[in-house]
Chains A and B, each alone.
Chain A
Amino acid sequence: MPVNISDKRETASHELPATPLDPSVRAARDEKIQIAMIALCGCWGCTLSFLDMDENLLRLLDKVNITRSSLTDIKRIPHRCAIGFVEGGVASEENIEILEHYRKNCDILISAGACAVWGGVPAMRNVVPLEACFREAYLDGPTAEPGVQPVIPYHPDIPRITTRVYPCHEVVKMDYFIPGCPPDGAAIFQVLDDLVNGREVALPGTINHYD
């Protein structure tokens, strides 16, 4: 039954009636190990490195199901997940909320890549006041509009930016860390494959990079 949304102030698309997944497909997915992914303040590169597992991605998908992720249209974690794969650091109030949502709903959280592990390149702004960054971007740039009163974005529909960029483990407890900018697809596969198969995580030096 469609819901009547006319008397709510705000309705999210994922709360609306959707076409249901075929029950047999759903059952097959439910039997797998559940993973949720999120990209916080980063460049999406670690998510692409996840795709860089190449053929191993397909091997992994035999055993795991991806729920919420920027690669799917699942907007909230739908049920408890074994693993949360987190790219990016924390740079806005929204990032904080999302990371806490992941901590609450995942057994294991992985900081994947330099931004999640220590803030990465975005954390270079920590040596500059946030206001100076905003001024440079919106008020003082060479393409600023002549004769127009400049505006720094601030609106209920966009989150406030935090004054500093934080690594994920300064916001919630993180269980594993994969360094690299980005980590190699092979490193990501090694960690996930170990976890999925119940082995102790061992990342050999040959695929463990810090650049």
Chain B
Amino acid sequence: MGKKLVIDPVTRIEGHGRVTVHLDEDNRVIDAKLHVVEFRGFEKFIQGHPYWEAPVLLQRVCGICFVSHHLAGAKALDDIIGAGYSTGVQMLPTAEKVRRLGHYGQQLQSHVTAYFYLIVPEMLFGMDAPPEQRNVLGLVEANPDLIKRVVALRKWGQEVIKTVFGKRMHGISSIPGGVNKGISIAERNRLLNGEKGLLSIGQVIDYAQDGLRLFHEFHEKHRKQVDGFAEVPALNMSLVDDNGNVDYYHGRLRIVNKNRETVFELDYHDYLDYFAEATEKWSYMKFPYLKKLGREAGAVRVGPLARVNVTKSYGGSTPLAQAALERFQAYTNGKANDMTLHTNWARAIEILHSAELIKALLNDPDLQGEQLTLEPPESAWTGKGVGVVEAPRGTLLHHYQANEEGAITSANLVVATTQNNTVINRTVRAVAEEYLGGQAEITEGMMNAVEVGIRAYDPCLSCATHAMGQMPLVVSVHDAQGRVVDERVR
């Protein structure tokens, strides 16, 4: 007789998930899964709506990366009206740079929220600390100065978003062919210089470096645990520019192996030639894979760890992040890094990278340009579009088609957390085997290790269940006969 352990719900993530772990009579792990327990159905109910509503409605997929959904949708709309990359048209510089500013602001804000509010408590208190302590309340009690800086840093990121989109969440900036407003000198100066209650860009970069230092200190103290925790092999995917450097807003999709050699590189408009999605009965989240390699070998990882594995460098405009990237890449002697908890290292580097990218962009006079929108003739209408951006959690794709009246006839979304589904489930299995397998007694802290593995991906189960539904997270353990041995539901 085995056991079924459950975590229900998984906490300190966005959305609803459940973990089940099944153990046999000798307490060996037979099975361990992350179940996403929500479903919403955006692809269907968006049909029939005017095409220009898509980025406004579909950004409601996610409250933390709405900018990414808005921009992936906007790029698809550019294609639809004949002003997009699919037709070889180059976006106006002001429009592209305003979009980039919003995008980098969101990456900073989203990573700061995930890293400091959701992940750092483990780093400071330990995986088996009291569950009531491993959270923002524990941070307030233990280190009030740190939490004040975190609040100020996140606020600044939100104010970048508000400057571009008009409000902190679910605002509107992009319209088909461009943006609806530029950035004034006064708005720019406020973000650069700060004001009472708002950081300056210099302070933002300082605080971002503090965040990275926090990881290094933690890593120094717990090197064995951090490096040995769920080393999960997978291909890595990211958008890259012509130099092979990560570009969060636009580029070609590159997929690299353990030696960081390119195994596939594609124009994302051709994604259907490369990707399929499998479905399982036990989760509302689908399982994308590269068709040529099949489900096991063709699973890719996306997000911060994948991006630092793919990118050649950060180019010349972000020197502090460049130094941090070099240190990261040297740690595995130039090979791809598969250590799950190093995702948090990569996330901290990307906070700094975003801050430096924003600094460079704020000093660019193109933000004050007056030409905001391309308006191609009606004859340019293509009725179909694909948009891809690197969202904070990884590669995000929106694909729409619209008829000649402008009504949406189909929408397909492949979001970052869904791309990571197979890799996250491998991680759950690896952690379950390491921390739960063979244990005579299992504690809450051991179960939390499974959640630590999941949190490294900063999964957004709300995004991943845009299809329709609710994502609960359950970990179950089954025995050799497929009976449930142990399950943990959080």
Do the two shown chains form a genuine complex with each other? Answer: yes
Residues of B close to A66: CB separation below 8 A: 135, 137
B140 and A44 contacting across the interface, CB-CB below 8 Å: no
Any B CB within 8 A of the CB of A17: yes
A142 with B412, Cβ < 8 A, contacts A45-B169, A51-B154 known: yes
Kindly supply a per-residue 1/0 record for chain B positions 139-165, scoring 1 wherever the CB is within 8 Å of any chain A CB and 0 otherwise: 011001001100110110010000000
Residues of A close to B341: CB separation below 8 A: none
* Residue on A nearest B467 in the bound complex, by CB: A137
A143 with B272, Cβ < 8 A, contacts A121-B57, A124-B45 known: yes
Any A CB within 8 A of the CB of B85: no
Any A CB within 8 A of the CB of B129: yes
A25 and B133 contacting across the interface, CB-CB below 8 Å: yes
What is the distance, in angstroms, from B116's C-beta to the closest C-beta of chain A? 10
B41 and A155 contacting across the interface, CB-CB below 8 Å: no
Residues of B close to A161: CB separation below 8 A: 39, 468-470
What is the distance, in angstroms, from A70's C-beta to the closest C-beta of chain B? 6
A133 with B135, Cβ < 8 A, contacts A18-B130, A138-B286 known: no
Residues of A whose CB lies within 8 Å of any CB of B are: 2-14, 16-22, 25-26, 29, 39-49, 51-52, 54-55, 57-58, 61, 65-66, 69-75, 91-92, 94-95, 120-122, 124-125, 127-128, 130, 132-138, 141-146, 148, 150-155, 157-159, 161, 181-182, 184-185, 211
Residues of B close to A48: CB separation below 8 A: 63-64, 113, 169
* Residue on A nearest B46 in the bound complex, by CB: A124
B445 and A18 contacting across the interface, CB-CB below 8 Å: yes
A72 with B137, Cβ < 8 A, contacts A43-B60, A133-B41, A185-B168 known: yes
* Residue on A nearest B142 in the bound complex, by CB: A25
A70 with B13, Cβ < 8 A, contacts A12-B488, A143-B275, A145-B276 known: yes
Partner of A94, one of B12, B470, B484: B470
A19 and B129 contacting across the interface, CB-CB below 8 Å: yes
What is the distance, in angstroms, from A208's C-beta to the closest C-beta of chain B? 14
Any A CB within 8 A of the CB of B205: no
Partner of A44, one of B15, B136, B144, B443: B15
* Residue on A nearest B439 in the bound complex, by CB: A2
Cα-based distance from A137 to B169 in the complex (angstroms): 26
Could you list 24 A-B pairs, sorted by A, with CB under 8 Å? A2-B441, A8-B3, A9-B484, A10-B489, A13-B6, A19-B129, A39-B16, A43-B60, A44-B460, A45-B60, A45-B170, A52-B169, A65-B137, A73-B451, A91-B39, A133-B41, A134-B39, A134-B467, A141-B412, A145-B278, A153-B283, A157-B33, A159-B37, A181-B60
A143 and B5 contacting across the interface, CB-CB below 8 Å: no
Any A CB within 8 A of the CB of B40: yes
Q: How many residues of B contact A (CB 8 A)?
A: 103
Partner of B442, one of A5, A21, A75, A130: A5
A19 and B128 contacting across the interface, CB-CB below 8 Å: yes
B151 and A13 contacting across the interface, CB-CB below 8 Å: no
* Residue on B nearest A40 in the bound complex, by CB: B470
Residues of B whose CB lies within 8 Å of any CB of A are: 1, 3-9, 11-16, 18, 20, 33, 35-41, 43-46, 57, 60-64, 66, 113, 117-118, 128-137, 140-141, 144, 147-148, 151-152, 154-155, 158, 167-170, 197, 272, 275-284, 286, 288, 399, 410, 412, 414, 441-445, 447-448, 451, 460, 462, 467-470, 472, 474, 476, 484, 486-490
Partner of B169, one of A11, A22, A49, A54: A49
Residues of A close to B131: CB separation below 8 A: 14, 18-19, 72-74
Partner of A73, one of B12, B169, B282, B474: B12
A70 and B12 contacting across the interface, CB-CB below 8 Å: yes
B132 and A155 contacting across the interface, CB-CB below 8 Å: no
Cα-based distance from A21 to B138 in the complex (angstroms): 10
Residues of A close to B284: CB separation below 8 A: 153, 158
What is the distance, in angstroms, from B280's C-beta to the closest C-beta of chain A? 7
Residues of B close to A133: CB separation below 8 A: 39, 41, 43-45, 467-468
B9 and A127 contacting across the interface, CB-CB below 8 Å: no
